[in-house]
Structure 1
Amino acid sequence: MSRPVVAGVDGSPESLAAAEWAAREAVRRDLPLHLVHAFDRGPDRTPSAAADAVRRHLGRGILRRAEDRIARTCPTARLTDEQVEGPTAVALSHAAQNAELLVLGSRGLSGFTGFLVGSVAQSLVARATLPVVLVEAGERSEDEHLADEDGNPSLLTPYRDVVLGIDVRDPCDAVVEFAFETARLRGATLHAVHAWDNSSAVALGPGAPGIGEGPRREEEWRGFLTAVLRNWRDKYPGVEVAETVVKGRAGPRLVRAAAGAGLLVVGRRVRETRLGPHTGPVTNTVIHHARCPVAAVAHD
């Protein structure tokens, strides 16, 4: 059985845009799309059959609006849906545990506005073990494509770049493969970006040459990036690859590199802190500031 693309919907403009994005991605991947609406009684509410019936009725309306919108904009998507009960982040995470990826509105889930600590979207990015894609309100299918010669939105132009944020000191196959596969499905250019600063270092082993100083350093990093991507270029010969090495903090540099991109892909190391799951500084920066959809891919 195919692993679906799962989209969480709550009726907000962000979640509807996310559902549309998920539908297009499901069609590109030849996968079914599963819409999920989660409702939560809250910790202090006594179970009530009447109240639950109202919640389910409202949830059914939310799902129907999303389905109607997808039927108009992406009629070839294979749709299923369900309602789940419980704390929203936990319920959506459970519903997506066998999914290929989870797609969410970047704001608006369960009334939250923005990525505040404890918000549903950020909690899911921090906890999920599958790729999570965040989509802003207003994202349309033509936004995935370059503008036409007159600067107008178009569905007939090539796809915008898929930007991959990669740390060549510790590259993760799952993150790189997700980016290459996404670019392949779109026929898009993959733009791999590695950011470095003067504190960056690479452990090459005893007796191995170190990173150069001054002007040599950037060229050294460029060589590492090319080496890391070489096998992936061979595996995906049809994907055009652009490589950029830039000095500076990774988060802001990736936000800048993704201006005008169709998707930004970053890795998120699965880790726990004393305060619970943590997204990491780079992922945290891009999900706050990138203006295109962001895919956070979990890895060990």
Structure 2
Amino acid sequence: MLRTITVGLDGSQESMAATEWAAREAKLRGLPLKIVHVWEPVPEPMAQAPLLGAETQQHWTERIPREAAEGVRLRHPGVEVRTEQVSGHPGNALAEAAESAELLVLGSRGFGGIGGFMVGSVSLSTVAHADRPVVLVRAREVAADEHELDPAGVPSAAAPFRPVVLGLDVEHPDETLIEFAFDAAKRRATSLRVVHGWNLPPYYAYGTPANPALHEALASRESEAVAEVLRPWRQKFPDVEVVEVSRYGSPAVHVVDASHDASLVVVGRRIRRNPFGAHIGHVTHAVLHHSTVPVAVVPHA
């Protein structure tokens, strides 16, 4: 079955920005775009109110995805657009919609003048439970934001894409995550910036005087580990320019810093099936809240 680029739409500014991003991604991948509108049925007493009758409710739930689809078709000719309406809890419905998608795209409100996301409970729940990659897009995100400055110093969709950033854990590298990032860079004809953050092992960090030679040796070891993980992927994607960055300190901080000049940030989420619920990990959680560009969260074993 042909997968789709699926986007969750509720009519908000952030979901409209997500729809535009999803349409561009669908064009890059040559896949259909499916707009999923999720609505939670109102309690029966409210549904019977004059302004919230069945006809009024149906009108608005049908109008939102229909008008969004019409706009996408006009702005992105050649992209096949489908719509679907589902009812229920948005987090559960969107996670289910992701099962048949190549990836799921969601909108997330920005912090006003401060860079980064305000990730709501629905988005976090969907990211934590979806078995397919989920991309979060900020409100007011536009195509030009993904591209380098033109000769006049202005962001332009006609300029080359900014790099794709991958947050890499060399101790637990995952093929699904790495391939997603390389593929994203290849489709955008841009470079891949692989960021790895490391810290001193506990037995070095505590009670050990500062030792520049030891620090240098550990830094060299970490850089070699990054190169070893990426070696087969460089061969598989020879057209993708790879920039390896291995730095001492918090991985989340380094990935967020790299996001300032990126078109997309790619991070992973380890799938854990346990009675205590799903988790996204502290690094991914931090990147989701503080990245200044769209973030793709790729689930892996």
TM-score > 0.5, shorter chain as reference = yes
Aligned equivalents of 2:166 and 2:152: distance in 1? Answer: 28
**Contact 2:73–2:81 (8 Å) recurs in 1:** no
Q: Which runs of 5+ in 1 are unaligned?
A: 202-211
**Contact 1:133–1:294 (8 Å) recurs in 2:** yes
Identity over the aligned pairs, expressed in percent?
42
What is residue 83 of structure 2 aligned with on the other side? 81
What is residue 165 of structure 1 aligned with on the other side? 167
**Contact 2:18–2:106 (8 Å) recurs in 1:** yes
What is residue 223 of structure 1 aligned with on the other side? 224
The Cα offsets for residues 104-163 of structure 1, whole Å up to 9 and x where unpaired, read as 00139xxxx9325xx111110111110000000111111111011221121221111000
Look up the SS of the partner of 1:232 in the other structure.
Answer: helix
What is residue 207 of structure 1 aligned with on the other side? none
Aligned equivalents of 1:163 and 1:105: distance in 2? Answer: 20
Matched, 1:294 2:295: yes
**Contact 2:96–2:130 (8 Å) recurs in 1:** no
Look up the SS of the partner of 2:82 in the other structure.
Answer: strand
Aligned equivalents of 1:37 and 1:53: distance in 2? Answer: 17
1:153 pairs, out of 155, 165, 169, with 155
Look up the SS of the partner of 1:238 in the other structure.
Answer: coil
TM-score, L = length of structure 2: 0.88
- How do 1:129-208 and structure 2 match up within 5 A? 129-199=131-201
What is residue 239 of structure 2 aligned with on the other side? 238
Aligned equivalents of 1:200 and 1:257: distance in 2? Answer: 27
Look up the SS of the partner of 2:135 in the other structure.
Answer: strand
* Structure 1 residues 253 and 87, CA gap change in structure 2 (3 angstroms): same
Number of residues of Structure 1 aligned to a counterpart in Structure 2: 283
Give the RMSD, CA atoms, in angstroms. Answer: 2.1
What is residue 271 of structure 1 aligned with on the other side? 272
**Residue type of the partner of 1:195?**
G
Shift of 1:95: 2.1
What is residue 249 of structure 2 aligned with on the other side? 248
**Contact 2:14–2:138 (8 Å) recurs in 1:** yes
Aligned equivalents of 1:220 and 1:243: distance in 2? Answer: 14
Aligned equivalents of 2:268 and 2:284: distance in 1? Answer: 7
Look up the SS of the partner of 2:214 in the other structure.
Answer: coil
Shift of 1:62: 1.2
**Contact 1:162–1:179 (8 Å) recurs in 2:** yes
Shift of 1:53: 4.0
Aligned equivalents of 2:163 and 2:296: distance in 1? Answer: 14
**Contact 2:3–2:101 (8 Å) recurs in 1:** yes
Matched, 1:4 2:4: yes
Aligned equivalents of 1:286 and 1:200: distance in 2? Answer: 24
Aligned equivalents of 2:172 and 2:256: distance in 1? Answer: 20
**Residue type of the partner of 1:290?**
S
Aligned equivalents of 1:98 and 1:52: distance in 2? Answer: 30
Shift of 1:273: 6.0
